[in-house]
Structure 1
């Protein structure tokens, strides 16, 4: 008999396919929020009217906007946003942007609840007795990395160049709004590469030794939607049905992670590539996932077969299917493509061993030497 455990999150709802402003206004009204703080992509705020549409929908309930969050959510920017939200006496945060905005706001929730005032004090929110967020979050994502469906905030410690994880069940957004129209402004490379990040969630979730029938169902269906949807968006950027399919696929991609299924070496190595070398989230998955799959195949060939079938290529090698799919989208596929040479492999390998995912990779990784084997494949 199979035994298992599936954890459900504290997210209350997902709204999709309607204008973001309309949906956010309805949610704010239902929550009784009066002082809404907006955290948004700086480019989206400066160069489009999407953030302004949200502010207009909020009316006089909007008490400020923070639009200065760099990639990988550095601690200093989290503190700056926390100060602004605290001064504004915010009772709700609305995010409009990609994964760095989303994760930054999750960390802000914890900083507000725990009285964090400085970069150094952020260490306090890693404690087991951290206070629960009171100021919650609504997320309007513009990319497909799907962090809005997780209670984990990835924040980069600029002093150590390490991406740290902060978590609490209530850091997950209270609601997510999927509006494909908002993604029109996302650069194509970013939309597609974060789509591969979502593919990575699906694939490493299915291939995990700790996956369940429930999480596999979500991940495999999400993988199929992404495999079909991403090429359609590339072929026709105005295809809103394809964009929404990708958004829903990215939502489904997080079923495993949200339910407690760990990711593997692609995510673990990717954390280091992002924090140390500033490689975008999506590109880390484009580069590492096929090579990790090939290295893992002796341990989980049956699960990899399910991945290839979900992507429309039954009987093919999953690593090869993923490699070709990523190539067809025009994404980088080697470490050399992002100017990371072999002289960095020792550092990457050592640091990756300290991530939460590498120790739970489906093929056991005993030490840095095996990480270097994977990096050499990806060179």
Structure 2
């Protein structure tokens, strides 16, 4: 008789995802349903300054609109997140809405946490962050989450809006660190493809590859399961179709929504508890320490990590290659070709990371929450150095 593998999937406090509906309508309906009277918008500077999208949302909210804040730098530096929290406090926010990319999303969720814990200095972030101890255990000190809920309107495809985990960068160490409580997850996510037409194409496509990487590292993980694999499989197929469509025609809203739903599906397994691997762990450090955009981290690292893992065991990579259309003999080669076809960078030197930075990246990667959950065991910074040299 065959055996079964026991497991579990966890879920967050997100109650609703809307898709294909204008963001302003979805936000207003949610605010009305919650009885929110002091809605604080944390918006992308580009959307606020260069389009009328934020003005339309402010107008739709009417007297429910308390304030709008913008100016979160990439990788959400602590000082920027603190400034946003101070603005939200001053506005007496009872609902926070992020409209923009991953840094705005991360900041909004952490802002709610900072208000709850009355954090008023960047040093006071420290007791709240997740860390890895000397034995490699992930320690999350948070037992009390925020009271103020968040709505996320993503304009990129990183997928962080679905996660209770958020990242902010310690500007002293240049180390991007995580903060996680289930109530940090947004109460609602709004997938509005129309608002994403303003997103620069390189950013849309590169963050799309970030979600591709979510799906790839789920399918590659020995800690995945049939439920997670099914979601990751469909996510990868949607992204493999949608990203080239949007590259060919940026006005293709159906293609954009396929990408958004693919990004959503790619995140469910991570939220449920399937750990990511070395591509994500290295990517966190490349972002916070080397200032590489989120999406470009995956564009560079994902195929090299697949190739490195395949030297150990390629059995979990057959399905990845099938989702990519079996365009090449291996999953790493097919993924490399797909990313190159989108016009994205494929080496560390292309994104400004040189060999003299490798040792620091390798050492910080061992401190990441996924630094030791790669399918091919990562035992020391030397293993990470091996991957980085392949990607040089």
Q: Structure 1-normalised TM-score?
A: 0.98
Contact kept in structure 2, 1:111 and 1:125, CA below 8 Å? no
Q: What corresponds to 2:31 in structure 1?
A: 28
Q: What corresponds to 1:154 in structure 2?
A: 167
Q: Is 1:61 aligned with 2:64?
A: yes
How many Å apart are 1:142 and its aligned residue? 0.2
Q: What corresponds to 1:203 in structure 2?
A: 216
The number of residues matched between the two structures is 379
SS at match of 2:196: helix
CA offset digits 1:44-63 (Å, max 9, x no partner): 10000111111111111111
Q: What corresponds to 1:71 in structure 2?
A: 74
Q: Is 1:282 aligned with 2:295?
A: yes
Please, which of 88, 91, 94 is the counterpart of residue 85 of structure 1?
Answer: 88
Q: Give, in whole Å, the separation in 1 of the partners of 2:197 and 2:152.
A: 17
Q: What corresponds to 1:369 in structure 2?
A: 382
**Pairing 1:106-255 to 2, within 5 Å after superposition:** 106-126=109-129, 128-255=141-268
Q: Give, in whole Å, the separation in 1 of the partners of 2:151 and 2:282.
A: 30
Q: Is 1:97 aligned with 2:100?
A: yes
Q: Is 1:41 aligned with 2:54?
A: no
SS at match of 1:360: coil
Q: Give, in whole Å, the separation in 2 of the partners of 1:35 and 1:341.
A: 47
Q: Give, in whole Å, the separation in 1 of the partners of 2:180 and 2:264.
A: 19
Q: Give, in whole Å, the separation in 2 of the partners of 1:47 and 1:244.
A: 23
**Pairing 1:244-323 to 2, within 5 Å after superposition:** 244-313=257-326, 316-323=329-336
Contact kept in structure 2, 1:309 and 1:315, CA below 8 Å? no
Q: What corresponds to 2:134 in structure 1?
A: none
Contact kept in structure 1, 2:312 and 2:376, CA below 8 Å? yes
Q: Is 1:348 aligned with 2:361?
A: yes
Contact kept in structure 2, 1:37 and 1:90, CA below 8 Å? yes
Q: Give, in whole Å, the separation in 2 of the partners of 1:204 and 1:112.
A: 34
SS at match of 2:40: strand
Contact kept in structure 1, 2:142 and 2:181, CA below 8 Å? no
How many Å apart are 1:352 and its aligned residue? 1.0
Q: Give, in whole Å, the separation in 2 of the partners of 1:303 and 1:48.
A: 44
CA offset digits 1:15-41 (Å, max 9, x no partner): 000111111111111111110000000
CA offset digits 1:276-327 (Å, max 9, x no partner): 1110000000000000000001344121110110122177300001100000
Could you tell me which runs of 5 or more consecutive residues in structure 1 were left unpaired when the two chains were aligned. none
SS at match of 1:359: coil
SS at match of 1:2: coil
Q: Give, in whole Å, the separation in 1 of the partners of 2:85 and 2:128.
A: 13
Could you tell me which runs of 5 or more consecutive residues in structure 2 were left unpaired when the two chains were aligned. 130-139
Contact kept in structure 2, 1:10 and 1:174, CA below 8 Å? yes
Q: Give, in whole Å, the separation in 1 of the partners of 2:128 and 2:349.
A: 37
How many Å apart are 1:335 and its aligned residue? 0.6
SS at match of 2:372: helix
RMSD value, Cα: 1.1
CA offset digits 1:146-195 (Å, max 9, x no partner): 10010001110001100000000000110001000000000000000000
SS at match of 2:166: strand
Q: Give, in whole Å, the separation in 2 of the partners of 1:201 and 1:358.
A: 15
Q: What corresponds to 2:339 in structure 1?
A: 326
Segment drifting more, 36-45 vs 294-303? 294-303
Segment drifting more, 242-251 vs 269-278? 269-278
CA offset digits 1:72-131 (Å, max 9, x no partner): 011001110111101111000011000000001111011011111110111132362542
Contact kept in structure 2, 1:71 and 1:100, CA below 8 Å? yes
SS at match of 1:373: helix
